[in-house]
Amino acid sequence: AMPRAVITAAGNYTLSEPLIVPLSIYETKLTRANLQVEVEEAVYTGTQVTPRVTVTYLGGTSPQTLSEGRDYIVSYGANVKSGKNKGSVTISGTGVLYGGSVTVKFEIMKKPIAY
């Protein structure tokens, strides 16, 4: 569960219900220096491409493959145009282990022309 602060009223103050404020407390901040993000080959489709990513944390004693949903969430840029660095994916730490976010650019290959 996400760390949180629960605020209740005291003295002459009343609240209909306690205020719950999520706290972004985590053990490790994900950075470009401690993260390796491998992006599957992406080919132009005319619509947003969302290639699979493999995320490895390099800041520990040995490289550790992180799990999407548990350790991080993925969000994609527009990713519609082809070309070098035209695609982007952001890895955002989640849960109590990882926080911070890293955005990585990748190439969207031109669609091969079939004759």
Per-residue pLDDT of the chain (115 residues; tens, 9 = 90+): 567 888 888 888 888 888 888 777 788 999 999 999 999 999 999 999 999 999 999 998 999 999 999 999 999 999 999 999 999 999 999 978 899 999 999 999 998 887 8
Burial class of residue 108, CB neighbours in 10 A (0-12, 13-18, 19+): buried
**Phi, psi for residue 93 in degrees, rounded to 5:** -60, 150
Q: How far from chain centre, in Å, is Cα 6?
A: 27
pTM for the structure as a whole: 0.77
CA distance 86 to 63: 28
Q: Is 74 left (phi over 0), alpha (psi -120 to 50) or beta?
A: beta
